[in-house]
Amino acid sequence: MRGIKAPDPSEVGLFYDRFAQLSAMADPEANLHFGYWDGPDDDASLPQAAARLTEIVIEKVRLGAGGHLLDVGCGIGGPGVHLAQTAGAEVTGVTVSQEQVKLANQRAAEAGVADRVRFELADAMKLPYAADSFDAAWALESIIHMPDRGQVLREMARVVRPGGRVVLTDFFERAPIPEYKRAAVETYYRETLLGPIVTLDDYPGLVREAGLMVDELIDISENVMRRTTQEASRLKQAVPAEVQQMHGDDPAFQFDPGDLTDVWEFGYLLVVAQRPRG
Ligand code: SAH
C-alpha cells in the first residue's frame, strides 16, 4: 500500500475536470465527499448524509459572520457556499480543476453569495496567499490526493491567523489491510488518484510538525464507510444510459465502491487542529 506513487496535482485536476458535470448532477447540494450516518436507523440518502458531514465540519470550524475561511480542495463549491449561507462567513476556495472553479463560482452566484465567496485555481502545496490571511481553513476529503500531507498542513498553518482552526477529513488505515482485501483498496487508490496512505498514529506528529495543536482526532469510519460505499455502489449501478455512455470506459468509473464495503480496516478520520495563539 505504501508503495503507491503519489499523483501529480495536474493529473488530479484533469480527473476532476472529467467528472465535474457528473458530480454536479449527482448531488443537488454539490457535496463531493462521503456521507455521515448517525446510526443503523438513520435512513438518509447519500446526498443527505454528505450534507450532514458538511454540517459537522462547519460546527468544528466555528466561524461566524465576517470570518474568512480557506476551503482547500473546494470541489464544486457545495460546502463553502453552504458555510457562507448559514454562517455569513467569507470563503476563498482552491481546487486544481478548472471545470470545478467554473461550476463552484456559478454555484456561489446562483446562491447570491458571490460577493463573499470566490473559487480559484491553485495548488494547496503552494498556496498563493500571505501569512495570517484567513480565520480558519478546512480540507474536506482533499488531502487524500496530495503527495505530501506535511507540506499541505504547513501551508494551511501559515495562512491561518494565530488562534484559527484547521479542520480536515482523511482516509486512513485503521489496521493492516489483509492480503486478500488489498486489491480493492489498491485499485481504488490507483483509479481515483489518491496519495500515500496514513495511519492514525501518523497524525499527531504531522499536525505538530506543521506548527498546529491537535484538538480532536476522531475515527468516524463506522458512521461513514460502509454506508457510503454501499450507497455509491447502488447509485452507480442505476446511472442513466447517457452517463454510462460518457464515462463507461473510464477506469475510475468502472471501479465499484461496493468492493470496499467489507474492508473495515480502511477508515475515515476527522481532524480538528488549531494554530496556537502565539
Ligand atoms: N472538498 C470538496 C471536494 C472534495 S473532492 C467537497 O467535499 O465537496 C477533492 C478536491 O480536492 C477536488 O476539488 C480537487 O481538485 C482538490 N485537490 C486535490 N489535490 C489538490 C491540490 N494539490 N491542490 C488543491 N486542490 C486539490
Residue 70 Cβ < 6 Å to ligand 1: no
Q: Is 94 in the pocket of ligand 1 (CB under 6 A)?
A: yes
Pocket test of ligand 1: the residue of 52, 57, 74 to mutate, having most ligand atoms within 8 Å of its CB, is 74
Question: Residue 125: CB within 6 Å of ligand 1?
Answer: yes
Task: Say what the pLDDT of residue 7 is.
Answer: 86
* Ligand 1 center from residue 47 Cα (angstroms): 18
Give Cα 267 distance to the centre of its chain. 14
Ligand 1 within 6 A of CB of 124: yes
Tell me the pLDDT tens digit for each residue of 226-266: 999 999 999 998 888 888 888 988 888 899 999 999 999 99
Active site residue ranges = 141
- Which amino acid makes up residue 44? A
What are 122-171's pLDDT values in tens digits? 999 999 999 999 999 999 999 999 999 999 999 999 999 999 999 999 99
- Where do the domains of the chain lie? 9-274
In terms of CATH architecture, what is 9-274? 3-Layer(aba) Sandwich (3.40)
Beta bridge partners of residue 165, listed in sequence order = 136, 274
Question: Over the stretch 95-109, which tens digit does the pLDDT of each residue have?
Answer: 999 999 999 999 999
In this structure, which residue's CA is closest to atom 16 in ligand 1? 73
- Give residue 1's pLDDT: 53
What lies within 8 Å, CB to CB, of 173 at 6+ separation is 1, 197, 198, 199, 265, 266, 267
- Say what the pTM is: 0.97
Kindly state if the Cβ of 146 falls inside 6 Å of ligand 1. yes
Question: Residue 166 corresponds to which amino acid?
Answer: V
- Alpha-carbon distance of 14 to 100, in angstroms, equals 10
CA of 100 to the centre of ligand 1 (A): 9
